[in-house]
Homo-oligomer: A and B are copies of this chain.
Amino acid sequence: MSASQPGKLQPLTAGEMPLVSRAPGQPTTIVEVGKVRFGAEQVVIIGGPCAVEDAEQISGIAAEVARAGGAMLRGGAWKPRTSPYAFQGLGEEGLALLAAARHTSGLPFVTEVMDPRDVAIVAETADMLQIGSRSVQNFPLLREVGASGKPVLLKRGMMTTVAEWLNAAEYVLAAGGRDLVFCERGIRTFEPSMRNTLDVGSVAVLRERTHLPVIVDPSHAAGSRRFVAPLAQAAVAAGADGLLIETHLDPERALSDAGQSLTPAEFQSLTDTCRAIARAIGRDV
């Protein structure tokens, strides 16, 4: 039998999203990853490098993230890269290094899975599975990740409408997933001054259309360290339930996304400002 056999899905009309849509009066669903709670009063800040490079790097960053008030660690073990000749990640070895950093820092971690054949092995170790931008309409992967039962972080594609993004989440939930968090990360437009254009309004649109939490990744949208903080501040003010921030001990030497990673000091400063904004709208960090 084919691996991507859709199975016994209910005969609903395409376009309906019974599992993802917010019913009138329905509260935001709290998605728990260990002690971390997405969708509650607390704005969740996730920090970490684009790619896991070695034990010292990832453990060092994890310690800094914890110290600055970050609640969770991120780091890529499998990296989707435009060119086949770019660094593709450490794979399973990266996963082991993330687990070690979790042990020393006490922070749960999220990491991307790109291949349906890797879902089992990643789900065994990671606390939360990330679906990256380029995979948002990789339907076999969405089903496999949903069936794993692990919490999912679903990034928006560079080219994905909000409606398509909600439908992608519906795939995950229809396959058995329950705990899903959306992550806005900028869309492709004609404007070249940042890498992508952060669609901060999507936070408000999702708030209305789904009961699931939404966080924002300002780092990939900015593509440049000096624009990360204002985008992060805007996201928190617009009502985001969390932030995904690229940080590195030595950004200039990062193997990928060097230009947009924050130093520990910049990460600390961003966290402090975002806490003040969160409190201004009745939340906290």
List residues of A whose CB falls within 8 A of some B CB.
1-6, 9-17, 78, 80-86, 88, 91-92, 114-118, 121, 134-135, 137-140, 157-164, 167, 170-171, 174-175, 187-194, 197-205, 207-208, 221-222, 226-227, 230-231, 233-239, 273, 276-277, 279-281
Contact = CB atoms under 8 A, between A and B. Distances in A.
Contact of A281 (B174, B207, B233, B238): B233
A220 to B, nearest CB: 12
A268 to B, nearest CB: 16
Contact of A231 (B85, B204, B276): B204
A218 B8 CA distance: 34
Contact of A204 (B4, B160, B204, B227): B227
A13 B161 CA distance: 31
Nearest to A137: B134
Contacts of A6: 84, 88
28 contacts: A2-B121, A5-B91, A6-B88, A14-B83, A81-B139, A82-B164, A83-B167, A84-B167, A115-B116, A115-B140, A134-B139, A138-B138, A157-B159, A161-B191, A189-B189, A194-B201, A194-B205, A197-B199, A198-B200, A198-B201, A200-B234, A201-B234, A230-B237, A237-B238, A237-B277, A273-B280, A273-B281, A277-B280
A78 to B, nearest CB: 7
Contact of A85 (B5, B13, B116): B13
A194 B284 CA distance: 28
Given A14-B85, A164-B82, A201 B188 contact: no
A190 B188 contact: yes
Contact of A170 (B12, B83, B163, B187): B83
Nearest to A168: B82
B174 A84 contact: yes
Contacts of A161: 190-193
Contacts of A139: 80-81, 84, 114, 134
A278 to B, nearest CB: 8
A274 B260 CA distance: 28
Contacts of A171: 84
Contact of A208 (B138, B140, B226): B226
A256 B118 CA distance: 31
A278 B66 CA distance: 28
A197 B135 CA distance: 23
A231 B227 CA distance: 18
Given A193-B202, A277-B277, 6 more contacts: A2-B92, A4-B78, A187-B197, A189-B199, A197-B197, A201-B227
